[in-house]
Chains A and B, each alone.
Chain A
Amino acid sequence: MTASAQMREPAMELRGVSVNFGSVRALQDIDIKVYPGEVHCLLGDNGAGKSTLIKVLSGVYRPSKGEILVDGKPVTFRSPRDAQELGVATVFQDLGMISLMSITRNFFLGREPTKSSLPFSRIDKERANTIARQAMADIGIDVRDPTQAVGTLSGGERQSVAIARAVHFGARVLILDEPTSALGVHQAAMVLKFIIEARMRGLAVIFISHNIHHAYPVGDTFTLLNRGRNRGTYAKSDISRDEVISIMSGGEDLKAVEAEIAGLLAQIGNRPPAAP
């Protein structure tokens, strides 16, 4: 899979991207290539620079240095809207869903289908509802009433609406920020299934996750971030699940913490808990 993908042109590429916030170097000299039909996992502990990287990819932040290429052409994103117009869609952790608005209104927000091109022409609600319901059905969610408020949906359903929206509007690069982190097992499975579907449709998927059970099965390529630097990109065949786990959880640091806790427990083991 990855071998054949490498032959093609990357759908999206970062070259030597750095982001500074004042004196803080959030990202330094990052190179990443994402290919169509590939799930590219971004891994790293808290503070590794994942969030900053997502915001660069999605057009929220502009890099202090380096360039972004889409289909081999250098681009500048002035806003997330610019990125979307080039087919780079991001599903943020907070989902970008407005709870008091209906599924359909959320689905089409910013791209409402109207019946004519006049400035105050009507939204074609019938068509919008039909399309939204169909797009949701495509990913296995039966929405009987697309006019119900998004706030009434479960976390997994909301995530699915957000992904369905991105795919429906022609995303070629889909960036998912911790899409399964707040979900139960079934819902996470649903989202993972959809990630695979998106990949099969030829999308380049950038998948950020803390959960190895979610990231490893669907990932084709793994990029490891640490303290704002790229520590290497590996094909799945080049890295084992255990290696990924070790890197994601901070590697040897965790063993040190475990030893420390064990020592602490041994020390206090015989003493009863202190009275409140």
Chain B
Amino acid sequence: MAVVEDKAIPPGELKATDRFGMTSKRAAGADERLASTGKLTQWLRRPEAGAAGGLLATIIIFALLPGAANLYSLQGSMTFLTLSAELGILATAAALLIIAGEFDLSVGSMVGFAGVVIGLTVKYWGLPLWGGIACAFAVAIFTGYLNGLIVVKTRLPSFIVTLATLYILRGLSIGITRAVTGRTQIPYILEGAPDPATAGIFNGHLLTGLFHWMGAQGWIATRSDGIPFVAGIPMSIVWWLGLTVLAGYVLTQTKYGNWIFATGGDLIAARNVGVPVDRVKISLFVYTACAATLLATIQVMEAGSADTTRGLLKEFEAIIAAVIGGVLLTGGYGTVYGVLFGALIFGLVQMGIFYTGIDTDWFKVFLGIVILMAVLVNNYIRLKALGRGGGK
């Protein structure tokens, strides 16, 4: 960062009174610089600006392509929203951790492992559903804590530490499941569970009454028996939006949120002013593992089965959604609302390509291009935020 030089006056020519009477001049200079901030710049300074623009562009592109009617129908919308929700639950957690300066590559494996824990405890230990879910969250808290502890104690890159966890958890999922059941899937978990109502918290629908009424009015499509195709708003979407709002509140409104930014922005500086950076990081590793477990619970309750391969590559998709959403990979900058847009773009593109009839093999090509564009836009916005650039 270049130091702004004022009109050079040799120090020798300055009297003490002159030297200390200059504040008004300095203040005037500061004002001039501030005045140059335009409305557009202010809007662009918002880290979610790029993602919002990207989402708008994606919506328009798919509206112009064939299959738009199906994609944007109520049913089509719910499908891509559900996809976005499942990714968004992970991506919001990943985003907070990235803002704090770390990665968690083990979330995908955690999704698989948590599902296995629920499946085994319910089917083979005879626990009620809530008991199985509680066990899965206990395992998640332990795993997240361990990830965080290893990262802050050894100061190894979290990339490597959680890459190890990725393999360990996936291996444990497959190994334990095969050892106990002889297969890699655990089916019929909900059958015979004493508390089927618990599942409703994760696989139910909200506003079913409203959707039923809308079906009766003929406003939305119904089956022959009068039940609408879309029974309500899936709980996964409710969880996603709820967690996004909560995470957004914590990040921007609370002291802990301030610490998350500071931890990722400048670790040493944050520690020097007394921010408990280790606790911040560990707690966020616990959060990412718990978010993975929430997703696993939703999937297990919806499918009624656990599969050791669930959550494969989800860790990267979560990071991608966060980056598309304007979160800086180097930490210290980002917003969860941007991540909401990022997850929406992801879900929309995935379903959109399906509905347009384009070979879905091309999804990944498109995804790669989107990632590259997102990173370029992010970089541009960050430079805007800092004026001409510079800083960290």
Contacts and interface: CB of A to CB of B under 8 A. Distances in A.
A170 to B, nearest CB: 14
Contacts of B272: 58, 60, 80, 90, 92, 96
Interface string A73-87: 000000111001000
Given A105-B258, A186-B25, A152 B386 contact: yes
A140 B26 contact: yes
Interface string B1-38: 10111101101001010011011111100110110010
Nearest to A112: B255
B262 interface: yes
Interface in B266-296: 266, 268-275
Contacts of B25: 186
Nearest to A94: B269
B336 to A, nearest CB: 15
Interface string B325-337: 0001000110000
Given A100-B385, A184-B6, A123 B254 contact: yes
Contacts of B386: 99-100, 149, 151-152
Interface string A101-126: 10001001111101000011111010
B209 interface: no
Nearest to B19: A189
Given A119-B256, A144-B34, A182-B3, A101 B265 contact: yes
A16 interface: no
A6 to B, nearest CB: 25
Interface of A: 58, 60, 79-81, 84, 90, 92, 94-101, 105, 108-112, 114, 119-123, 125, 139-145, 148-152, 154-157, 182-187, 189-190, 192-193, 196, 213, 217
Interface of B: 1, 3-6, 8-9, 11, 14, 16, 19-20, 22-27, 30-31, 33-34, 37, 249-250, 253-256, 258-259, 261-262, 265-266, 268-275, 328, 332-333, 382, 385-387, 390-392
9 contacts: A99-B392, A100-B391, A114-B254, A141-B27, A149-B386, A152-B33, A154-B3, A184-B6, A217-B16
